[in-house]
A and B are shown apart, each in its own frame.
Chain A
Amino acid sequence: MNDTIVQVTGLTKKFKDFTAVDNITFSVPKGEIFAFLGPNGAGKTTTIKMLTTLLLPTSGTILVNGHNAVTDQHDVRKSFGIVFQDPSLEDELTTYENMEFHGVLYSIPKEERKIRIKSLLTFVELWDRKDSLVKTFSGGMKRRLEIARGLLHHPKIFFLDEPTQGLDPQTRNHIWSYLKNLSSKEGITIFFTTHYLEEAQEYADRIAIMDHGHIVTEGTLKTLLKQTKKATLEEAFLSLTGNDIREESASGIDALRRHRQMRGR
């Protein structure tokens, strides 16, 4: 139990009569890179929102770093960092101001804050852009800044909801080298979603595949390939989730998100 950082039991989320997440149970071992995969509308983001206290579950229990995500939100919030699927930076603030804002919200003492901001911005190669307004940034730069920001308060677990979506291969490689680095040097648990299955294949220690609110399978790449008798994760994924395109009941936010993506974030 001590080696588990996320423990989810019987988790369900209903939106009116639609069940987005249906009685899922899984756990994530400390220090692992955990890929949470699934087709559009599978319920990945909804699950992450519940793990990160943004949404209340309809039923089930969630423990993050040993704290209950419903009754003990404060301690859960201190434990994780997150990069949301949608951009969540303040465009009218500079790089540094966005970091500073985060540091103050998480009560990081001033001196430590300064040092930490500098080292993280250097890490994601944005230190020389620290005084630029975020609205002048490309999608890749924003994503790197969000990663740096999410790490500022030394989270035990880092949630990344499609961190590399819409980015070019260079930037994606970059981001993955940061994440890989973090995981091996600092032992941070990384919980990510992606539609680029080769990322999961290459970097994840463990993979869970979700579809229609259920977890269809969970295990290491090896066991998944063995179970499905396929050569690549992509083939395994398709054989587990079928070839149908998902009909998304586009909520207002989904429509807006797509619109923003088309305009290039």
Chain B
Amino acid sequence: MNAIYILWLRELKRYFRSRSRMIGSLGQPLLFLLALGFGLGPIFQKAGQGSYFQFLGPGVICMSILFTAIFSGIQVIWDKQFGFLKETLVAPIPRLHIMLGKTLGGATIATFQGIVVFFLAVLFGFRPELTLLPLTVLYMLLVAVFFTGLGITIASLLEDINGFQIIMNFLVQPLFFLSGALFPLNNLPKAISIVTSFDPLTYGVDGIRGTLIGVSHFGLMLDFITLVVLTLCVLTIGAYFFSKIQI
């Protein structure tokens, strides 16, 4: 138990000590929020869909969680190459605890990043309903744990950082763009609609949007159950592959 805590703490310290990483990862969500939020706003309004900025806010929060979480998880590759992972792998503690400590650490950071983006959005005019805010944080945490776990799973399977770009372009970007973070899910062409429903992030976006602006496509309950089930699966698979790491 203490091992999980100290591993969690290490991730947090690393994060809060490298300001550039913190600030750097706010750039992209902010760009999306401002450029798309204000740029597409008028068209969205004309189409009778209401305020695009309101709609986009939760999507951009999810975006920052997704990228921070995956990135935290994938850092295990660097740990593998630059040595620190060895220090934990030779310690007399179950590999499962190492994996959990890292996952919770990464997830905490990603959730924190999501909350920062939330406040930034509010600063630029996002007006959420506040009644379900604790639930919002719960959905954020679930998304964060899921994607950190996914990142660690991928990192456990990759030899070195060369595969990183492929993962970003062929997994993470599609996960984001096909999630309904940027567009409403109703009245989509059949094919796109099917693809979005297979994207785990879709349920995170939907849950967070549901709790923040009261618009949900699948319903909060389905979002919740889907996320919990997916998270448990990813943690189980991730723990398995993590326990098989040899360096």
The chain A residues found within 8 Å of chain B, CB to CB, are 49, 52-56, 74-75, 77-78, 80, 82, 84, 86-90, 92-93, 97, 100-102, 104-107, 133, 149, 252-253, 256
Q: Within the complex, which residue of B18, B83, B92 is in contact with A84, where a contact is CB–CB below 8 Å?
A: B83
Q: Given A105-B6, A253-B81, answer yes or no on A92-B91 (Cβ-Cβ < 8 Å).
A: no
Residues of the A chain whose Cβ atoms lie less than 8 Å from the Cβ of B92 = 74-75, 77-78, 105-107
Q: Given A54-B246, A55-B246, answer yes or no on A101-B6 (Cβ-Cβ < 8 Å).
A: yes
A52 near B90: Cβ-Cβ < 8 Å: yes
Give Cα distance in the complex from A133 to B84, angstroms. Answer: 15
The chain B residues found within 8 Å of chain A, CB to CB, are 2-3, 5-6, 10, 13-14, 17-18, 81-84, 86-93, 159-160, 162, 246-247
Q: In chain B, what residue has the closest Cβ to A80?
A: B90
CB distance from A108 to the nearest CB of B (A): 10
Q: Within the complex, which residue of A82, A87, A100, A252 is in contact with B90, where a contact is CB–CB below 8 Å?
A: A82
Residues of the A chain whose Cβ atoms lie less than 8 Å from the Cβ of B6 = 100-101, 104-105
Q: Within the complex, which residue of A53, A82, A84, A97 is in contact with B13, where a contact is CB–CB below 8 Å?
A: A97
A101 near B10: Cβ-Cβ < 8 Å: yes
A88 near B84: Cβ-Cβ < 8 Å: yes
Residues of the A chain whose Cβ atoms lie less than 8 Å from the Cβ of B5 = 104
A84 near B2: Cβ-Cβ < 8 Å: no
B13 near A105: Cβ-Cβ < 8 Å: no
Interface residues of A: mostly helix, strand, loop or mixed? mixed
A256 near B81: Cβ-Cβ < 8 Å: yes
CB distance from B26 to the nearest CB of A (A): 20
CB distance from B188 to the nearest CB of A (A): 43
Q: Within the complex, which residue of A80, A84, A256 is in contact with B86, where a contact is CB–CB below 8 Å?
A: A84
* Contacts A49-B247, A54-B86, A107-B2 known; 16 new A-B pairs at CB < 8 A: A52-B90, A54-B247, A55-B246, A74-B92, A84-B83, A84-B87, A86-B82, A101-B6, A102-B91, A104-B2, A105-B88, A105-B92, A106-B91, A252-B81, A252-B159, A253-B160
Q: Given A92-B17, A97-B13, answer yes or no on A104-B3 (Cβ-Cβ < 8 Å).
A: yes
Residues of the A chain whose Cβ atoms lie less than 8 Å from the Cβ of B246 = 54-56
B84 near A90: Cβ-Cβ < 8 Å: yes
B14 near A55: Cβ-Cβ < 8 Å: no
- Which 6 residue pairs are nearest across A and B when measured between Cβ atoms? A88-B83, A105-B91, A77-B92, A104-B6, A78-B92, A92-B14
B86 near A92: Cβ-Cβ < 8 Å: no
Cβ contacts A to B, 24 pairs, < 8 Å:
A53-B89, A54-B89, A55-B246, A84-B87, A86-B83, A86-B86, A90-B10, A90-B14, A92-B14, A92-B17, A92-B18, A93-B10, A93-B13, A101-B6, A104-B2, A104-B3, A104-B6, A105-B91, A106-B92, A107-B3, A252-B81, A252-B159, A252-B160, A252-B162
CB distance from B4 to the nearest CB of A (A): 10
Q: Within the complex, which residue of B17, B93, B247 is in contact with A55, where a contact is CB–CB below 8 Å?
A: B247
Residues of the A chain whose Cβ atoms lie less than 8 Å from the Cβ of B81 = 252-253, 256
Residues of the A chain whose Cβ atoms lie less than 8 Å from the Cβ of B17 = 92, 133
Q: In chain B, what residue has the closest Cβ to A82?
A: B90
CB distance from B92 to the nearest CB of A (A): 4
Residues of the B chain whose Cβ atoms lie less than 8 Å from the Cβ of A56 = 246
Q: In chain B, what residue has the closest Cβ to A75?
A: B92
Residues of the A chain whose Cβ atoms lie less than 8 Å from the Cβ of B86 = 54, 84, 86, 88
